[in-house]
Amino acid sequence: MTPPGDSSAVTPLPEATRHEDASADRLRRRGVLGCILAAAMTVLDLSMTSTALGSIQEGLHSSLAKGSLVISAYATAELVTLSLSAYLTRALRPRTYLVLLVCLFVGGALLSASAWSFESLLVARVVQGAASGAIMPFAYYAIVVLLPTERHPKAISTFSIAVTGSYVLAPILCITLGEWISWRALYCVAAPAGALALRLALPGLREMRTDESPLGRRINLVSVGAVVVGLFCTQYALDTGQDRGWFSSAVVTLAVATALVAFAAFLVSELRGRNPLVDLRLLRLRPFSAACVFNVVAGGAVYSSFVLIPVYLTTLGFSVGEIGTVSLYGGTVQLAIALGLPVVLRRLDAFLVTCAGAGVFALAALLPYLAGSTPPYAVIVLALMARSVGAGLLLAALGLMATRALGPSQASSGSLLFNMARSLGGSVGAALCAAFLAVRQAYHLRTGGTTNESRSLALHDVFAVAFAILLLLALTLLAGHLLRRVGTRQAARATDG
């Protein structure tokens, strides 16, 4: 028996209270799962668009050179919405917020399915990108706010598995719906996926608190205007710079100058204003700022591959069904590895996992570079497997690095900054990849090659640059891991001394 007055005595909770706590916990986990599925829906849509890009352009009578616009327009819209997402999560109730986002995304998908021209498809993709830009950070926000810290690795792993499953499902749908019916049928998948996500998430979002952020619910209109103008001008310069001759064009030069001025105004307004959109001071946290910097490179690599892989495989003569089949191999391997991510992320340092992911991603660029213009089928399959595995490890570990560095009051701003880093890297990376490919193809055409030969040589050059960048990222992450180990040992010795 416990002695009277013993302060260590624990009064057992009533059965009804324990039942209510267990029920609330289940609802919170269900809410997180629904938000994760909503985010996976956006990944599925982007992956299907990338796989079927050649068929989409053919159906709308557009050239391969315009393919990057489908990806970069989506990424630009993501960036604009991302810049507002931290404020919107403070201003709107979580349930209302998610319903609006999912409905907007599904509406954009149905508009894409009924696109009558390439321009109308771009408009629809902008609508989808605007919704996607807020759905992805909201999923990270839900993990931080709804779940205790000890459950974050499992939640991030579930996130990774859902995203990986989307990469597996995308080529299957492209092989079936895209080949048997039409590429338009692929965009109709968003409707049932969005309905399922809302069905799971809405009951659990009642448990989410929205009064944690110290930034309040007011908005700084100067910051909003500056960030929207800056992002729009940046993407406009990237998308049109190649055709206009970059800085030889007064329009491109003006767009770049306007973007620089707008971003400077945004920084001043955010740091000195009373109602900032996002807490930029979170970047003072070293683990979080490191995750954001690495996420820029990771986003650039992933989005560039969405542009590069369809062009590469189409140049080799692959159909949409064959591209889907090859992509399916990579997605299946990535899914198998994702199932073991909870154990990996618990036992290994996040820097080491990101290093491994970047190294495998670099291998994916090295293999087609070494294979030349007529790569064996096995090399193509192996390269796409390496790309899928590398991207999965890299993004999952970076997500865990970011969430571990944040508290509940920092979740909305932190998730915005982290996802904005990925989307900004993706937008710039996709545009620069397409521009570099066009420059190198024009160079090889001038040296006397045919169109296909020139494109093949240009792709060879792009793979070489991608390998160098990813290898540098892997080495930087390895150095970070080693420095952390040295610092930990020195701190342990100082404590023992």
pLDDT of residue 7: 41
* DSSP codes of every residue in 312-341: HHHHTT--HHHHHHHHHHHHHHHHHHHTTH
What is the structure's pLDDT at 31? 81
CA neighbor of 295 nearest in space, from 137, 436, 407, 161? 137
| CA distances in angstroms from 226 to 253, 257, 262, 266, 291, listed in the order given | 18, 13, 5, 5, 25
Q: What is the pLDDT of residue 302?
A: 82
What residue spans of 147-220 are helical by DSSP H?
152-173, 184-187, 190-204
List the one residue out of 486, 245, 470 whose CA is nearest residue 349: 486
Cα gap 321→314, rounded to integer Å:
11
How many other C-beta atoms can be found within 10 angstroms of the C-beta atom of residue 61? 8
73 and 125 Cβ atoms separated by less than 8 Å: yes
For residue 88, give Cα distances in angstroms to 6, 96, 228, 378. Answer: 49, 11, 15, 47
pLDDT at residue 434, as a whole number: 78
The backbone torsions φ and ψ at residue 116, rounded to the nearest 5 degrees and listed phi first, read -105, -5
DSSP-based three-state secondary structure for 174: helix
Per the CB < 8 A criterion, the answer to whether 228 and 80 are in contact is yes
Question: HEC profile for 250-266?
Answer: HHHHHHHHHHHHHHHHH
pTM listed for this prediction? 0.67
Q: Could you read off the pLDDT tens digit of each residue along the chain, which spans 497 residues?
A: 444 444 444 445 455 455 556 677 777 888 888 888 888 888 888 878 877 776 777 767 666 556 666 776 777 777 777 777 766 776 778 888 888 889 999 998 899 888 888 778 888 888 888 888 778 778 877 887 777 767 776 777 777 778 777 777 877 787 777 667 777 888 888 899 888 988 888 887 776 665 444 444 566 677 777 877 887 787 777 767 766 777 778 888 898 899 889 888 888 887 776 667 677 777 888 878 888 888 888 888 887 887 788 778 878 878 767 777 787 777 777 777 777 776 777 777 777 888 888 898 899 888 888 887 788 888 888 888 888 888 878 887 887 788 777 776 676 677 778 877 887 787 778 778 877 888 888 888 887 767 777 888 888 888 888 888 888 888 888 887 787 777 777 766 766 65
* DSSP 8-state class, residue 178: I
Q: Which residues are CB-contacts of 399 (< 8 A; sequence separation ≥ 6)?
A: 140, 156, 159, 160, 418
What is the per-residue pLDDT for 386?
Answer: 87
Q: How far is CA 353 from CA 294, 341, 357, 398, 442, in A?
A: 13, 10, 6, 9, 39
